[in-house]
Structures are given as structure tokens and as C-alpha cells.
Amino acid sequence: MIGKAKWHSNFWLTLTAGTLLVVLVIILGLSFFDAIFEAQINSRKEFLYKQTELAAQSLEMDIRRFEDEGKGLISYLEDPFHELDDYDEELTSAARRFFNAYPGLIDTAWVDMQDSVLIFTLTDRNNFIRTQSTEAYPEAGSRRYTYDVIGKKGFRIIYSLNLIDFTKEKVLNYYLNPGGAKFMIFNDGLIDLSSYGSSGIEFSPQNLQPVLEDLSLGLKGLYELKWRKDGENVSGILAQYPFSFDLTSRMGTLVFLVPVEGLQSGIYGTYLLLFLGFVILLIFTIGFFIVSIKNNLEADRIKEENIREISVLFEQQNLLLQELRGFVFFHDAKGEITRVSDEVEEILGHPKSDFVKAFNREIEHQDVDQIQYNVKMAVAEHKDVIDLEYDYHHPDGRQVRLRVFEKLVYDEAGDFTGGMGICTDITANYLANLKIIESENRLRTLIGNIPDILFIYNNEGVVQDFHVQEKGNIFDASQATVGQKLDDFVPHGQASLVRGAFNEARKYGEMKAVDVKWESPMGERHYEIRFFPLDSDRMMSISKEITGQKIWEKGLVDAMKAADQASRAKSEFLANMSHEIRTPMNGLLGIIDLLEHTDLNRIQRQYVDIIKNSGNTLLSIIKDILDYSKIEAGKVEIHSEQFDPMDELEKQAQILSGLAKKKKIRFTIEKENLEPLIVSADRVKLNQIFLNLVGNAIKFTNEGGKVGVKLTMEPISEYLLFLKCRITDTGIGISQEHLEHLTDPFYQIESSSTRSYQGTGLGLAIAKKLIELMGGELEIESEVGQGSEFTFGIIVKKVSQGELEQEAKSPISWKEVREKGKDTPFKILVTEDNDLNLQLLELMLEQLGFEYKIAKNGLEAIEKVKEEDFDVVLMDVQMPLMNGLEASREIRNLPGKEKLIIIGLSANVFDDDKILAIEAGMNDYLTKPIRLAVLAEKLEFYLQKLIEKSR
């Protein structure tokens, strides 16, 4: 009876203590709940403010970045290295990239190209449209949200912006609590940013007054306000964060707000249920504690038996731990270590005693707390084992990866009695696995970003998997190929080609590529398929669409064919013109050379000099005109000669004096402080420039007018001079409209068939280019009815006395050649079909004192060479029956004629013609008209060779 009373007393005492404990926990829980509630409210207010701040800063950064990059197109337009063609595709491409960089922001861009206005628009269907405006360039501020960019060279751009829609899209990414809304105050207006229409929220001016005051000062803020929504009053929190950019001189701000109910939503339900659950758990724990006392003794007995069994296993596993780099440990139900193997010091760097103390309940240790927490969670879920990994900082500074595998032990009643585990050092395996994972992630990222189509096959060509970045028709078609053989879905007629590439890649273990054409609803598509082995059992292919490349290649081939055809036609025309013009020039200049060396009185010699200078100048001009394609390509070369520029230009002026006298024009030439001076420059091109400009002045000056030439020489350095020539006339003059284009090729001020002045329009274009090549520039001033002034200057090199003497010794006269020819007989075969040219060559060779024989075509030349030995063959290129090139090849094939000197003669002056002549077996090549001095120099060169050879 006493025992029973004692039992009841203990029972009521335990029940009372448990009840008081539950009440105390409830009081503490309510206090804790209140503190959590306040903390959550403050946290959500801070979250609301941060969301507003991030959204405003992001919007401001995007708009400012747009303003900065919006000036990029102006820089592109002002780039001096861009050609006119670059303003087509490359400008459109640059504008499209800029539109795509700010999706939804730019509505339209107007580009003032100075002579036209371009409009760029990106439609809702992502179609980029470029059009030329028929209206004037819009005024700045004519639209609500615009950004005007003005360049330094006259280019302008106005961007029309969808600022409101862009801002709405921007703030969609920022979350608000239920009932929240987003606004923007911009240009004194409150703009609703709801994506689904109006939010239904209205503010009174008094409620918004604090926000507007802070905005005027550029201050951010968090406010408790009231507003009306759907006719009801609502209290809540409003956060605003200002922003500014160049689109407006005034500041704007983003406004995010949520009602108080939105802030409180979820807190009551979440934490109240959590608290009630905790109270129920506490009651259950107290009951469980009372019941567990009864079973405690039984549990101790079972624990002892388990420990004995574990001790046996412990001894058996020590040998294994030495190989695994680990140690074994045992602990009781309280988590205290009862036994640990000696390897713990090697693995953890601490002695066994420190390891055992660390698991004492009175000592806190981060690693120990982590393990004990996992044990408790596993016991709560009644798990049998624990397997976990974590990083451990070794006392020597290393970071070690440890794995803990533990077996949890329970008694028959299911109560936890302790556990045994093994801790191993897995650092090496862990690092190796990390590298594998990183490699796999890189591969996944790479495959995910490849725009091409990927297929994986087995070795028989059956599709096992695929990857297509884009969804739609291509994805559906690719998915349909899974399980099919490669031969089954490749277009008809191409299967063998594709299969062959697949088999070669499999056989040789290297990549093989093949082009395939597919017919699709969108038209003909081209793909490049590359096969390669993925591993020993699988193959992979990458299919890249090359339709654009094929179209581009076809267009390029067509363009090249057209360009080649045009180039051939141009070359043929120029070659024919060169031959036809140079043939009569050959006779003219050749006879002048011969006439020059006859007995002439002073007046006759003066006339011959004028004719000779005129012919030489005409020949140089014809050469540059016929070779205008070389000028266009920038391949004109400067050939320096030593001469007196004043004397040379006076000779050229004398050529034009006759025309001036005929028109009764007063023609004067004046030199300023010019003493006789020898310079090095391109004499022919200087004469061509001078004749062109002075000739134009006389040509466009009416009878009784004046044309004046003034020459000056300005020193640049010790060796360089600047020769300046100014030509003035009282001619018809040129308007400013035509003056800008006067030096353009083929430009005619008066282009009708009845124009007063004839010409090709090439003269000034060639003169300007030649002046620039010689280091100078051409300046033109003119006024209609008053006349014109052309001024040009070139850089010339001053020739020293030593250079002058060396230059004076270099030329060889034809008389010296003739003397050498008497000492060493020189037999020449002249092959020429044109009677005029043949007569001229006969006269030249007679003057030079050489023996010669004549052949009228290539066949005759071959027969003459067979019958008689010659030292030199002068071979015309264009002849009937057999031309000079064919005859040269035949002569080279004759026995003993390999060393015979063959000099080609032709009116064709192009480099290709000279190369063909050398390839045909000719030793040298002279272009018509043949000059006596040039022929004498060439014959002297080969005569000297023969003399040296005979010695």
C-alpha cells in the first residue's frame, strides 16, 4: 500500500512538473513568436526597399549604357577609313546589333546622313527594317521620349524610345508580396507599371507629398502611407529610389508598395503552426521520457553485449584500416567515445586522448557537433547507417576530405544504444571526382551552347540521341530520326556519300566531313556534316547549316566570272588601242631621232627639238592614259631623272606658245629667285602635269585673254626642295558646284554633244593623282567669268655635283656603239611585217653601222636562222602566218640556237605581254615606238656580252 502511495505521489509529481514545463514553454513560445513577427516585418520592409533600389539602379544603368553606346553609330559614321559601301550592309548590321542589345527600348532611329535620312525600325516580329525617309529629319523633342546624338562631322541620330514599356518589362523580374504594385514618377507624372493593366490604386496629393519632396532633393525613402484600391482604404509601406539620366533634366524614381496585409501574410500561419507542433512534440517527449525510464536497464544490458561483439570486429578491421588510411571508433547512446583505433592520430593529427575528450558533452567542437547532429537525425529516422563527407582542417594546414561511415545499433525494443564507425581520408579520390565533374559540366555547357545539330549513333549508324538548340520543325524532324539508320533519312542520292564518310571516320578514327543538300518547306538547305568517333562503341556527327555560305560562294563565283570577263575585255581593248596608237608613233619618233643626227641649221634644229619634245610628251601621256587601270590600282611608279626644272618647263611652255599665239592670248612665264639648279624628280610626269594644266588654261581662255605661269622654289631641308607652280588665266571660270567634282575621273562641266570644249575628262584626275604621288597637292580657285588659278607643288631632290658628274658619265651614244660594231661585226636579223616600221629599223641600223637581213614573218625568220648564223634577232610579236612568240619557241628548239639572242618588238606595253615574250624564249623586250638611243643601248649591252664571250 505504501509502495502504491509512493508510486501515485511520484506520478502526480511528475505530471505537475510536466504541466508546469508545458505552460512555461507556451509562454516562452508566444514571446518568441512575437519577436519573430517583428523581425519578419522589418525584414520584409528591407526586402521591399532593396527590390526598389535594385530595380532603379538597373534601369538607370541600362539607360545610361544606352546613352553611351548610342553614340557608337556616330563614331562608326565618322570613321574616315569607311568606304561608301560600308554604309549599307555594315551600317545596317551595326544598327541591328544596337537594337538587339536593348530589346523593347528603341522604337525607331532616324539617322541624318547629311544628304538623306535613314529610318531603322525593329518590329514586334523581330524584323529589322531600314528605309529612307521621304520627310525631313525630325526636330529634337518632337516625340515624348527621344535621345538626340549629334556628331562632329554633321551626322545626327534621334532615337525614339519605349521608355514606359521598357521599364514595365524591367520591373517584372522583381517580386512583391501579395497586393503589391509598382509605379514610376517621371516628369511629374505617376505612371502605373502593372503589366496586366491598371493596378486600381489611387493616391491623394497629401499622401504623395513626402515622396515628391524627397524626390526633389534626390533622396531615397521608405514611407508608411494610405491609398485607395477598388474603393477601399489600404495602409501599407511605400519604397522609392530615385534615378536620373540624360533623357530628361529632371529626376525620376521607381515606387514599389505593398499593403500591411501583404507583409504579414504567411507569418501567422507559418510560425503559429510551428509553435503548436513544438508544444505537441514537447508533450510527446515528456511522455516518451517517462516510458523510457522503464526500459533503460534493459537497454544497458543489450548495449554491453553489442560492445563485446563490436570489440571483436574492431580487432579484425585494424589491418584493413592501415591500407584504407582510416580509423575505427565506437560511441555510446550519449555520443561519448568508448574506443578508437590508434590510426586516429595519423589521420586527424591529434592524439587519441584529444579525440575522446572532443566528444565529451561539456566541450563544443565544430566537427564533432556536425557528426553528432547527423547521428541524432539518423536515429530520429531510425536509420541503420550514416554515410557523410566533410572537409577537415588538419593541424599542419592541409584541408582533408573525410568520409564517415557508421553503423547504428538498436536494442530489441528499437532503442538506440550506440554505434561504431570508420573514418577514412578520401582526399585523393575526392579531388579526382571534382575534376571529372568539372569536365562533365564544361562538356554539358559546350553542347548546350552549340548552335549546330548533334547526333549520336552506334557503330552501325543507328541514331541513339540528338541535340538541337532550337525547338520547332528541326527539333521534331531530328526527334523522328531516333532509332533509324543513317541511310534511311539522308536525302535520296546522297546516302552512299554520307555513309562513306561515316565508315571512313569509324575506320581511321579521324574526322570526315561531307556536304548534304536537304529539301525543306522553307526551300533548299545545305549542311556540312562532320563525323568522328565518340568512343569505341559510338559515333557522333555535327551538322552545321551552310546555306548562306553556299549562296555567298555562288554569288562570289558569278561576280568573279563577271569581273574576269570585264577585265579581259578591258585588257584586250587597251592592248589593241596601245598597238594601234604606238605603231604610227614608232615611225614618227624614230624618224625624229634619225633626223636629229643629220646636218640641220639652228632654226631647223629648234623645230626638230619642239617636235621631239612634243612627241615624247604625247607618248608619255598616251602611255598613262592607256594604263589608267594602273593609276586606279595605285601602281603608278615614279622614275627619277636629273634635269633643270626651269629649263624643262620653259621648253614645255614653248610647245604651247603656238596655240596661245593663234588665239591671241598673252602667255607669260615668270620665275621667282630661281637660279640654274639640277634636281632629281620624274621629269615626264612633271611635264605631263604642266602641259595638262597650262593647256587647259589656254583652252578655256577666250581670244585676247591672259595666261600666266609663275614658278618658285622653296627649301624644305638641305637636300629637299618644294617646286611650286601657279597657273592663272582670264578664262570662263568654274562655278563652286562644278569645282568640287572637277578632279573626278571623266567629269565634264558640259556633257552635251554640242559642248564648246572637247575632252575626255581624265586630264585633271590624272594630274591630281600624279601630284599626290610626287608628294604635293593641287589647289584650285575659280570664279565664273573672272578666270581660274591652279596651283600645284611637288617635292624634288637637290642633286649634288658628285651625283651630277656620275650621271653625266652613264649614257652611251649611238656613235660609240657604231665604233664597237666596226671592230666586232654584229649580224642582225630583222623580222617585221609593217613596211613603215621596217623602213625605220633599216635606217636606225644603218646609222648604227650594223649588218642586217630581213624576214617578213615568223616562218621566214625560222628559215633564215636555219640557213645562216645571226648574233641577234629583232622579232616583231604580231605578224601574219606565224607570230613572233611562236617563231621564238621554234627557234629555241633548233639545234645550236639555244644561245641566240632574240629581242622582242611590240606595241603591247602590258606586263603580261612582256612575261609571255620571256616565257616564249625571248631574251629581251622593247616597246614601240623604238627610240634610237634605247635600241643603241640594248645592242651595245649584248654586243659587249659577245665580245667578253669571244675572249
Q: What is the DSSP code (8-state) at residue 682? A: -
Give the tens place of pLDDT for each residue, 165-181. Answer: 888 888 888 877 777 88
Mean pLDDT, residues 769-791 taken together: 87
Q: Say which residue the cell 639555244 belongs to.
A: 898
pLDDT above 90 as % of the chain: 4
pLDDT band at 139 (very low <50, low <70, confident <90, very high): confident
Q: Give pLDDT, residue 3.
A: 46
Other beta carbons less than 10 A from residue 828's beta carbon? 21
Q: Considering only the top CATH level, what class is 298-433? A: alpha beta
* Cβ proximity of 775 and 716 under 8 Å: no
| Cα 353 from Cα 797, distance rounded (Å) | 99
List Cα–Cα distances, 482 to 303, 512, 539, in angstroms.
Answer: 60, 22, 14
Does the model's pTM come out above 0.85? no
pLDDT band at 754 (very low <50, low <70, confident <90, very high): very low
Q: Give pLDDT, residue 679.
A: 87
Q: Give pLDDT, residue 753.
A: 38
Which range is most confident: 264-273, 546-555, 570-579, 739-748? 546-555
- Of residues 625 and 936, the one with the higher pLDDT is 936
Shortest CA distance to 60 belongs to which of 213, 212, 242? Answer: 242
| Cα 783 from Cα 762, distance rounded (Å) | 22
Consecutive H or E run containing 388: strand 385-393
Q: Give pLDDT, residue 810.
A: 45
Mean pLDDT, residues 75-82 taken together: 76
Mean pLDDT, residues 926-942 taken together: 82
Q: Kindly report, as residue ranges, where domains of CATH 3.40.50.2300 are found in the chain.
A: 811-950
Mean pLDDT, residues 50-73 taken together: 84
Q: Give pLDDT, residue 706.
A: 92
Mean pLDDT, residues 484-511 taken together: 82
Q: Considering only the top CATH level, what class is 811-950? A: alpha beta
Mean pLDDT, residues 323-350 taken together: 82
* Cβ proximity of 33 and 275 under 8 Å: yes
Cross-strand bridge partners of residue 903: 874, 924
| Cα 21 from Cα 24, distance rounded (Å) | 5
Q: Give pLDDT, residue 903.
A: 92
Give the tens place of pLDDT for each residue, 625-649. Answer: 655 555 665 556 777 888 888 888 8
List Cα–Cα distances, 693 to 702, 768, 819, in angstroms.
Answer: 16, 10, 44
pLDDT band at 10 (very low <50, low <70, confident <90, very high): low
Mean pLDDT, residues 234-246 taken together: 83
Q: Give pLDDT, residue 752.
A: 42
Mean pLDDT, residues 133-145 taken together: 75
3-state secondary structure string across 713-782: EEECCCCEEEEEEEEEECCCCCCHHHHCCCCCCCCCCCCCCCCCCCCCCCHHHHHHHHHHHCCCEEEEEE
CA dihedral 606, 610, 611, 612 (to 10 degrees): 100
| Cα 679 from Cα 644, distance rounded (Å) | 6
pLDDT higher than threshold 60 for residue 566: yes
Q: What is the DSSP code (8-state) at residue 462? A: B
- Of residues 945 and 602, the one with the higher pLDDT is 945
| Cα 886 from Cα 47, distance rounded (Å) | 94
pLDDT band at 521 (very low <50, low <70, confident <90, very high): low
In one-letter notation, the amino acid at residue 744 is D
In one-letter notation, the amino acid at residue 253 is T
- Of residues 114 and 539, the one with the higher pLDDT is 539
In one-letter notation, the amino acid at residue 63 is I
Q: Kindly report, as residue ranges, where domains of CATH 3.30.450.20 are found in the chain.
A: 298-433, 453-545
pLDDT higher than threshold 60 for residue 472: no
Q: Dihedral sign for Cα 901, 903, 904, 910, please.
A: positive
Q: Give pLDDT, residue 809.
A: 44
pLDDT above 70 as % of the chain: 76
pLDDT higher than threshold 50 for residue 432: yes
CA angle at residue 827 from 823 to 829, to 5 degrees? 155
DSSP 819-873: HHHHHS--EEEEE---HHHHHHHHHHHHHHT-EEEEESSHHHHHHHHHHS--SEE
Residue 28 phi, psi (nearest 5): -60, -35
pLDDT higher than threshold 50 for residue 120: yes
| Cα 638 from Cα 774, distance rounded (Å) | 8
pLDDT band at 89 (very low <50, low <70, confident <90, very high): confident
CA angle at residue 478 from 472 to 480, to 5 degrees? 105
Mean pLDDT, residues 578-601 taken together: 68
Does domain 453-545 fall under CATH 3.30.450.20? My reply is yes
Q: Which residues contact 460 (CB under 8 A, 6 or more apart)?
A: 485
List Cα–Cα distances, 628 to 571, 619, 769, 792, in angstroms.
Answer: 11, 14, 11, 21
| Cα 897 from Cα 870, distance rounded (Å) | 10
Lowest mean pLDDT segment, chosen from 238-247, 355-364, 506-515, 662-671 = 355-364
Q: Which residues contact 784 (CB under 8 A, 6 or more apart)?
A: 732, 733, 734, 735
Mean pLDDT, residues 772-781 taken together: 86
* Cβ proximity of 187 and 252 under 8 Å: yes
Consecutive H or E run containing 417: strand 416-425
Other beta carbons less than 10 A from residue 902's beta carbon? 26
CA angle at residue 194 from 188 to 195, to 5 degrees? 130
Mean pLDDT, residues 760-787 taken together: 81
Q: Kindly report, as residue ranges, where domains of CATH 3.30.565.10 are found in the chain.
A: 600-807
pLDDT band at 859 (very low <50, low <70, confident <90, very high): very high
* Cβ proximity of 527 and 538 under 8 Å: no
- Our measurement of the distance from residue 449's CA atom to the centroid of its chain's CA atoms, rounded to an integer in Å, reads 20
Q: Give pLDDT, residue 656.
A: 81
Consecutive H or E run containing 277: helix 267-324
Fold for the domain defined by 600-807: Heat Shock Protein 90 (3.30.565)
Which range is most confident: 263-267, 382-386, 561-565? 382-386
Q: Give pLDDT, residue 727.
A: 92
